[in-house]
A and B are shown apart, each in its own frame.
Chain A
Amino acid sequence: MNTVALAAIPTAAPAAANTGVNGVALTVLIVLFLVVTGLGFWATRWRRADSMESLDEWGLGGRRFGTWVTWFLLGGDLYTAYTFVAVPAAMFATGAVAGFFAVPYTIILYPIIFIFMSRLWSVSHRHGYVTPADFVKGRYNSKSLSLAVSVTGILATMPYIALQLVGIQAVLEVAGVGGSQNIIAKDAPLFIAFALLAAYTYSSGLRAPAVIAFVKDTLIYLVIIVAIIYLPGKIAGGWDAIFGAAEAKMAKPSLADPSKPTGAFIPGAAQHWAYATLALGSALALFMYPHSITATLSSQNRNTIRRNASILPAYSFVLGLLALLGWVAIAAGTKPIGLDGKPNAQLVIPQLFEDMFPSWFAGVAFAAVAIGALVPAAIMSIAAANTFTRNIYRDLIKPNASHAEEAKVSKLVSLLVKAFALVFVLTLDKQNAINFQLLGGIWILQTLPSIVFSLYTRWFHRRALLVGWVVGMIYGTLAAYNVASPATKHFGGSLANMPVIGKLGYIAMSAFVINVLVAVVITVILNALKVSNGRDDTIKGDYFADAGDPRVEKHRDMDDQLTAGPAT
């Protein structure tokens, strides 16, 4: 069966690779991109508010998004272009452990957030919190803990934004753009795309990605469903041949280390822990990222996120199908070779589309990925900017900043964040962005105890949470640093031997368990010594509040005066 599958390689496919600019596909891509840009600017007027001069309006879209807008927004936010490029690439290169874990990950994600996100929504609604660090500060009046949460959030988000650019680059590269040796001509398309994105995010805030998400998600669903129906029919032997080819490739000795197989067709007994901890750790971590929380807090009531927990899995289904396209590409003999002539697994999905689809539809598929990068990049930059404004600028630099000032700072920071991401991708090796994103996932999970545990209890001591965070961050960083792979000496992957259990597991989970243990031990000590755990601004009822319940405004007089103050 396996040899049959290998014989089934369509002969025409590899010849088409990277022969130059694909005119039709590129035109479709540009047209769709321009449509989206227009929508981005138009978004300022969508559900127009009296004033955009506050973080509630600019940064959270007025906190008025209903079930379906939230569905599109969260779907557009969580299932990023990078995911769409990297998951099938991992399936293609090393198989199920590195790639298909995304499916259980995005399934168990929803019961997990069902449990606690409503509480975070309610308390944020009552107290006007915009970021998770706002909540932590309100819960313990601890600037250091809130700073730890916000800095972790920003650090973890920045490389993630940079990776969205890698998604766009992959598409442009396959479309034949960016081949010039001249650095300006090479990167000009990416530069223009990001400049436009920065401009409409600046003016429309969270409304821009919310509107664009409709286009993005529609295109993604269209492309994946067409691909999954159309492509297996073009491969002799259909699904049997596809799975056969994947099994054969994964069983072959690895090129880098012939003593090991290339990858896993189905996780072997030694990899079960890795598969499970990757799924669980990623699911726990995802809603600690500022951009996930921003999209959740922008919903109109407490139960929007819970309703969404039962309809968001539609995206998980599509992600699973997309992961399988990585194996379709194996059977199709896709050769992902970059413009520099080197093999690059990241290009496998765009290359598969270019090889197998008519040009115009390849263009639609490219647009789906490129636009798919814009939505998360916009939300991430808004979330990072909000975090900076609330938890660094307001808490540490200018405590009595008005709403209008906050919005202004946030808008400027959103530009800076994107500029930084662009510089990051253009000047550094892409591997750096990937390393940092890997680290970001490990780091962000270390904020979970401070955020999620605190939604339920104040038993944990604020200092214990802080020390637990420090220990988790250090352990996770060192463990990731020490992972070698054939390609890199350090940061070679996210799996390492877990302490005590002794099997390979996701580093973030090991660090998380250590973090919690440290926090528990120190809490017991500090509580026994009766060390103060700070003032709590919240009351129990706050965690069950819903739309219509009044907001607690701490500095009401000042806020009113300052909001109305500067004529805009």
Chain B
Amino acid sequence: MSNDREVDHDTVPPANKGLLAAAGVLLAIPIIALMWVSSYAKVEPKLGGWPFFIWYQFLWVFLCSAMTYTAYRLVLKARPHRPMHREADRDGDEVAR
């Protein structure tokens, strides 16, 4: 925080808040959709003999996977990694590996 050259690592790395929020929404949608049981606890419309209740939840496997992957791309973009250096450690000593 003191100057540009020395990063204070006791801070949250900067991020694009908008992208993070978008990722958050993508992650929340499947949870809300599946918690809302009354929206899908029914037999009709059937699909190839499968009750709506069954095939709709299978459909969410794919939707959720796609949304999670999109959220992953967004999060990577939103907050690039801020590398940490040894000097940044609180006790400041070199670490032997």
**A interface residues (Cβ-Cβ under 8 A, vs B):** 96, 100, 103-104, 107-108, 110-112, 114-115, 126, 238-240, 242-243, 265-269, 272-273, 275-276, 279-280, 302-303, 306-307, 309-311, 313-314, 316-317, 320, 324, 539-546, 548-553, 556, 560
Contact = CB atoms under 8 A, between A and B. Distances in A.
A111 B27 contact: yes
Contacts of A309: 68, 72
6 contacts: A108-B35, A114-B68, A268-B41, A317-B58, A317-B61, A544-B13
Contacts of B86: 550
A360 to B, nearest CB: 30
Contact of A539 (B10, B50, B69, B71): B10
Nearest to A301: B81
B17 interface: no
A115 B30 CA distance: 14
Given A242-B49, A543-B12, 8 more contacts: A100-B54, A273-B37, A303-B72, A310-B69, A313-B61, A320-B58, A550-B95, A553-B95
Nearest to B86: A550
Contacts of A280: 31, 35
Contact of A239 (B48, B68, B81, B96): B48
A111 B64 contact: yes
A279 B53 CA distance: 15
Interface in B47-97: 48-51, 53-54, 57-58, 60-62, 64-69, 71-72, 75-76, 79, 81-86, 88-91, 93, 95-97
A273 B38 CA distance: 9
A380 to B, nearest CB: 26
Contacts of A546: 81
Nearest to B32: A108
The binding surface of chain A is classed by DSSP as helix
A196 to B, nearest CB: 35
B31 A544 contact: no
B64 A556 contact: no
Nearest to A103: B57
Interface in B1-52: 9-13, 27-28, 30-31, 34-38, 41-43, 48-51
A348 B27 CA distance: 36
Contacts of B95: 550-553, 556
A266 B53 contact: yes
B1 to A, nearest CB: 11
Nearest to B91: A552
B31 A108 contact: yes
Nearest to B26: A111
Which 6 residue pairs across A and B have the least CB separation, nearest first? Answer: A541-B9, A310-B69, A239-B49, A111-B27, A272-B37, A539-B10
Given A276-B35, A306-B72, A560-B96, A107 B57 contact: yes
Nearest to B13: A544
B69 to A, nearest CB: 4
A306 B75 CA distance: 10
Nearest to B83: A549
Contacts of A551: 95, 97
Contacts of B84: 126, 541, 545, 549-550
| Residue from B13, B41, B43 whose CB has the most chain A CB atoms within 10 Å | B41
Contacts of B66: 310
B49 A240 contact: yes
Given A111-B28, A267-B41, A316 B34 contact: no
A548 B85 CA distance: 9
A358 to B, nearest CB: 26
Nearest to A306: B72
Contacts of B50: 239, 243
A540 B50 CA distance: 49
A104 B34 CA distance: 6
Nearest to B52: A266
Contacts of B43: 266
A541 B64 contact: no
A431 to B, nearest CB: 29
A317 B59 CA distance: 9
Given A279-B34, A549-B84, A243 B49 contact: yes
B57 A266 contact: no
Contacts of A242: 49
B6 to A, nearest CB: 13
A112 to B, nearest CB: 7
Nearest to B75: A306
Contacts of B48: 239
B83 A110 contact: no
A539 B88 CA distance: 11
Given A239-B49, A317-B61, A548-B83, A275 B90 contact: no
A238 B72 contact: no
| Residue from B12, B37, B69, B79 whose CB has the most chain A CB atoms within 10 Å | B37
A541 B38 contact: no
A539 B90 contact: yes
A114 B42 contact: no
Contact of B68 (A111, A269, A303, A550): A111
Given A114-B71, A266-B42, A540 B49 contact: no
A311 B65 contact: yes
Contacts of B42: 266
Contacts of A556: 93, 95-96
A285 B86 CA distance: 36
Contact of B65 (A302, A310, A541, A560): A310
A303 B30 contact: no
A275 B60 CA distance: 16
B49 A313 contact: no
Contact of A540 (B10, B69, B71): B10
A552 B81 CA distance: 18
A307 B41 contact: no
A541 B88 contact: yes
| Residue from A275, A316, A550 whose CB has the most chain B CB atoms within 10 Å | A550
